[in-house]
């Protein structure tokens, strides 16, 4: 089981750290100014639907690099992502199902298009 240091433990850690800083000549006296603020950040953890959308992005970039016209409706896909975005409440299973239904056929077409590319020597 994990033990938390509590106030007394934090006081011990603080005392030891300050003593080491004094000995090293980094600080003098009995106090130091420490900025312990942590800025907020929006962390988005990937989920299966998000990873499928990223795969669509990779296919789009590849298609553009190789002059392949898009074979799926990119605007509709982006609109769908906004509807089911990470900040929306709703069923993750529905989200995944909708993206998967669009991804599987798009991936099959992608395979055909990539297979038809000419390899340069």
Query: What are the pLDDT digits (tens) for 7-54?
Result: 888 888 888 888 888 888 877 776 666 767 777 766 656 677 788 888
pTM of the shown model = 0.55
Per-residue confidence at 106, pLDDT binned at 50, 70, 90?
very high
pLDDT for the residue 33: 65
Mean pLDDT of the chain: 80
Enter the tokens of residue 112: 């055909």
């Amino acid at each position: 089981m994990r033990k938390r240091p509590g106030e007394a433990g934090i006081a011990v850690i603080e005392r030891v750290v300050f003593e080491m800083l004094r000995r090293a000549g980094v600080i003098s006296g009995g106090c130091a100014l420490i900025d312990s603020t942590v800025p907020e950040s929006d962390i988005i953890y990937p989920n299966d639907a998000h990873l499928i959308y990223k795969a669509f992005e990779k296919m789009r970039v590849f298609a553009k690099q190789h002059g392949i016209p898009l074979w799926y409706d990119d605007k509709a896909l982006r609109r769908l992502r906004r509807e089911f975005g990470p900040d929306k409440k709703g069923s993750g299973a529905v989200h995944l199902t909708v993206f998967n239904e669009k991804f599987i056929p798009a991936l099959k077409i992608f395979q055909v298009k990539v297979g038809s590319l000419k390899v340069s020597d």
